[in-house]
Structure 1
Amino acid sequence: MDPVRRAPLVRLLVRLLAPASCLALAAVAGCAAPDAPSDGAAVRRAVADWAAAPPAKLAGIPLEGWSYEVTSVRRDGVRAFARAELRYRLAGYDTTPATSARELELAPGDGGGAAWRVTADRPAPGAPAQLWDQGEVAVVRGAHALVLGVGQSPQTLSAVAAEADRAVPAVNAAWPRPWAGRLVVEVPASLDGMAALLGRAADTYRGMGAVTTGATGGGPAPADRVVVNPEGYAGLSQAGRQIVLTHEATHVATRTATSARTPQWLSEGFADWAAYRGSPLGPAEAAPALARSVRGGEFPAALPADGAFTFGGNPEAMARAYEGAWLACRLVAARWGDAALVTLYEHAAREPLPTALDQTLHTDLPALTTAWQRSLREDLG
C-alpha cells in the first residue's frame, strides 16, 4: 500500500486501540513513546533523579544516604514499574542503613529530556510500609530520642519523647555496656498503621504498647525502631508507658549482645528487669497473670519456652510467660548480682545455656528452675 494512503488507516487503528497498542504501532506510524527499557537504563536514571530530590513530606526527617538500588524493571503499556531496595539513615541515630523494598511507578517524560519520570513510590507487594507512606510525618527531638509521628498531636509526640528520654538512663543503669544511647520511636495514627509498618495483621499487636524492630546478630547495630501502638499505649498509666518504653529501649541496647541462641525468657525477662528496677510495684502487682495461676495451684514446670512469647497467641498465657521471665531474671540478679545477670546474658548469646549457666552462675538449669519455682511460691503464693 502507498505510504501516503496507509497513514489514515494507521491513525484510525491508533484511535481505536490506544493506549495499549500505541507501543506496538510506534514502529509503523512513529507513535511517541519512551524507548523500551530492555536494560532498564532510562528507568534507572529516572529513579536516580527521584532519589536526588525526596518528596516534600520527608523534609523534616533528618535523612542521609537516601538511595535506591533498582533490582528489576517491568513495562506495562505506557507505564513502567521498578522494584528497588531503598537505603537510608537517620542522621545522628542510625549507624547502618535502614532498608525497605519499594515499587516505583513511572510514566513517560514530560518533554524535559527525560524518557521517564517517577509518579508513585510505594512499598513493594508484601513489604512493610514506611511511616511516610501513611501521611505527613511530624518530628519531635528529645535529648536521647527522635520521635516520628503521623496523625498525632504535638503534645502526644512530645510526651513520648520525654518518656523515651527517661528510658535511656534507666537502660544505662541496667546495661553497663556500650550502645548508641539513643532511640528512634515511630508513632503511627492507629493500630492498623502500626501493623502496616511491621508487615503483620493488626490483631497480632492488639493490647500491646510497643514493639522493637531490628535483627539480632552481634554485628554493627541495625536500624532499630521502637514502634508504638497508639491505642494500647494510650490506655496505659504514666508508669506503664515508662515501663513499656524502657523495656523496648533495653532491646535496642542489648541488640548486638543477642543472638538466635539467646533464650527468649532471658531476652524478654532482662528487658522487663531493666524496666521494673525503678518501679515500686512488687511481684504480685507486676505479675498478676502468673500470680493468679500460682494462687490457683498451677505452677509452671519449666522456664517459659521460646514459643510462649509468640505474638497473636493466648494473651493470658503470653502474659504469664513474660512475667515468669521477669521473675527469673529478678531472681538471678537478687541471688548472684546484677553484674552476673549481664554476664549471663552475654554468654548465652555465644554458648549453650547450660554452659553459660555453669560459667557465670556456677549452677545448672534444673537448679535454676527449682530456685525460680520456689521464688514464685514465696512472691506470688
Structure 2
Amino acid sequence: MLPALCSARLLPLLPLLLSALLPAGCAGPAARPADPASAQVRRAVAAWSAAPPASLAGIPLEDWSYEVASVRRDGVRAFARAELRYRLAGYDAAPAGSAREVELAAEPGGHWRVTADRPAPGALPQLWDQGPVTVRRGAHALVLGGAGQGPETLDEVAAEADRAVPAASAAWPGRWAGRVVVLVPGSLERMAQLLGRPAREYQGLGAVTVGRVGAAPAAADRVVVNPEGYGQLTAEGRRIVLTHETTHVATRAATTATTPLWLSEGFADWAAYRDGAADPERAAPALGRAVRAGEVPGALPADAAFAFGGDPDALARAYEGAWLACRLIAERWGDAALVALYGRAGREPQESALREVLGTDGAALTRAWQEYLSRELGRRALR
C-alpha cells in the first residue's frame, strides 16, 4: 500500500500516514536529548552576571545583563557566547551592547564556575577590558579614564567637556540630552583597539565620536579621546575638538546616511568656532595655502575626502572647506537656515534641501563658496 500513497495529491500527508502505519519504536530518529551541562552553564552565567563586577563599582552602570546565545563544551571547560547589555545611568537612553565570550570550568556536582570574561572573537573590547577605569563626573559630562590615565588629564577633560555641552546646545537648538560621555584610553594604541582600526588612522587627531547614525538622542554615543593627539593641542585646540565632537552627539538623531559629510563635519566645526573670533587664515591654514597657490577646490568636499588614514593635508583641507561652507551659509542666510538645512538634509537629498531652505542649488552654492574662499583665504596674495 505504501507506494500508492506517494501520489502528488497525498504527498503532503505522507509524514502523518507513516507515523500512523509504522510500529512503535520505528517512528524515525529520536530528537537528540538536550545537553544538561548547557543548561547548567547558562544558569551559572546568569547567576554570575546578575550585577556588574565589583571592579566596575565606580561606573554608573544599570540594566546590566548577559544573554547567552550558544554554549560550547571542551572537556572540563565551557565557552558561552553572550551579548552584554548595559546603560550608563543618567547618560544612555538606549542600551549599549558588547559581544562577549565567557569561559567556565567544571566543578564537582555538575556545577560550573566562571573563570574569564573577554570580548568575543572579532568583537571590540570595552574600556575596562584594558585595565582599571577611573571616573570623573562633571555637570554635563561623564569621563571614563582607561588604565594609565592621570587624574589631572581626566579633570581637565571633564572641565572642557562641561564647557562643550552648552556650546553645542547654543549651536543646535534641536532636542538632545545635553550631556556627553567621554572615554580617555591610556594610549593611542588602546584607543585604536576600542575602535577596531589601525592606530595610524588616528595619529594627529584629538578625538572622534562613535555612535549610531540616526539613533535616538542620548543613545550610546561616546566621544573617544586620543590622549597623544589631544595632549599636543593648545587650550583653544582642546576646546574646539571637544565642542566639535559634542556637537556630533547633539545632532546624532538628525544625522542620517543622507546627510553629506561636508555639512555634518562643517556644522560641528562651525559650532566649535562660532563663539570665538576665528580668523579663516589662521583656522584654515592648509586650504589657505592651496587657495593662495591658485588651487581653489572645484567642488564641496566629497564624503570620501573625510576618510582617516590618507593624506593629512588633504583631510585638513576637507574639514576646513566644510567649516567655511557652513560659515558662509550662516553669514548669508542666517544661523537658523543652517540648522534647518542640517535637519532637512538628513531626510531628503541635498539638492532638494538646498532649494527648500536656501532657495538655491548645489552648483550655485559651490560658486558662492569658491568666491568666499578666494575672498577670505586669498587676501595675503592680494597684498
Q: TM-score, normalised by structure 2?
A: 0.88
Counterpart check, 1:189 vs 2:169: no
1:41-94 C-alpha deviation (Å, 9 max, x unpaired): 111111111211422220100000000111111112221111111100000000
Q: Which residue of 1 aligns with 2:4?
A: none
In structure 1, the partner of 2:129 is: 133
Q: Does 1:261 align with 2:288?
A: no
Describe the superposition over 1:175-216 as per-residue Cα deviations: whole angstroms up to 9, x where unpaired.
011100001001010001101111111111111100011011
Deviation string 1:237-290 (CA, Å, 9 cap, x unpaired) is 000001000000000000000000000000000000000112233001101110
Gaps of 5+ in 2: 1-32, 379-383
Judged with a 3 Å threshold, the aligned counterparts in structure 2 of structure 1 residues 136 and 36 are, in CA distance, closer, same or farther, namely farther
Measure, in 1, the Cα distance between the counterparts of 2:72 and 2:36. Answer: 9
Could you say which residue in structure 2 is the equivalent of 1:50? 48
Map 1:57-96; keep pairs closer than 5 Å: 57-96=55-94
Which of 105, 128, 149 does residue 107 from structure 1 map onto? Answer: 105
User: Could you tell me which residue of structure 1 aligns to residue 16 of structure 2?
Assistant: none
Code of the residue aligned with 2:38 in structure 1: it is G
Q: 2:12 is matched with which residue?
A: none
Identify the range of structure 1 (290-299 vs 36-45) with the bigger mean alpha-carbon deviation: 36-45
Find out whether 1:226 has 2:254 as its counterpart.
no
Structure 1, unmatched stretches of 5+, are: 1-34
Residue 312 (str. 1) matches residue 304 (str. 2): no
For residue 368 of structure 2, what is the aligned residue in structure 1? Answer: 371
More displaced 10-residue stretch of structure 1: 145-154 or 260-269: 145-154
Alignment of 1:149-298 (within 5 A): 149-150=145-146, 151-219=148-216, 221-298=218-295
SS at match of 1:52: coil
Could you tell me how far apart the structure 1 residues matched to 2:347 and 2:215 are? 10
Q: Does 1:120 align with 2:116?
A: yes
Task: Report the CA distance between 1:40 and its aligned residue.
Answer: 2.5
Task: Evaluate the alpha carbon distance shift between residue 324 and residue 311 of structure 1 in structure 2; reply closer, same or farther with a 3 A threshold.
Answer: same
- C-alpha distance in 2 between matches for 1:39 and 1:305: 55
Question: Using the alignment, how far apart are the partners of 2:36 and 2:308 within structure 1?
Answer: 44
Cα distance change, pair 114–237 in 1 and its aligned pair in 2 (3 A): farther
* Percent of matched pairs sharing the same residue: 71
- 1:170 Cα offset (Å): 0.5
Compared CA separation, residues 184 and 231, structure 1 to 2 (3 A): same
CA distance in 1, matches of 2:56, 2:135: 10
- The CA distance in 2 between the partners of 1:252 and 1:302, in whole Å, is 27
Q: How has the CA–CA distance of structure 1 residues 362 and 314 changed in structure 2, closer, same or farther, with 3 Å as cutoff?
A: same
1:37–1:75: 8 Å Cα contact kept in structure 2? no
Residues 1:271 and 1:48: Cα distance change in structure 2 (over 3 Å): same
Is the deviation greater in 230-239 or in 43-52? Answer: 43-52
2:139 corresponds to 1:143 = yes
Deviation at 1:128, TM superposition (A): 1.0
In 2, Cα distance between the equivalents of 1:38 and 1:367? 70
* Alpha carbons 1:37, 1:43 under 8 Å: kept: no
TM-score, L = length of structure 1: 0.88
**SS, match of residue 49 in structure 2:** helix
Q: Is the 8 A contact 2:187 2:226 kept in 1?
A: yes
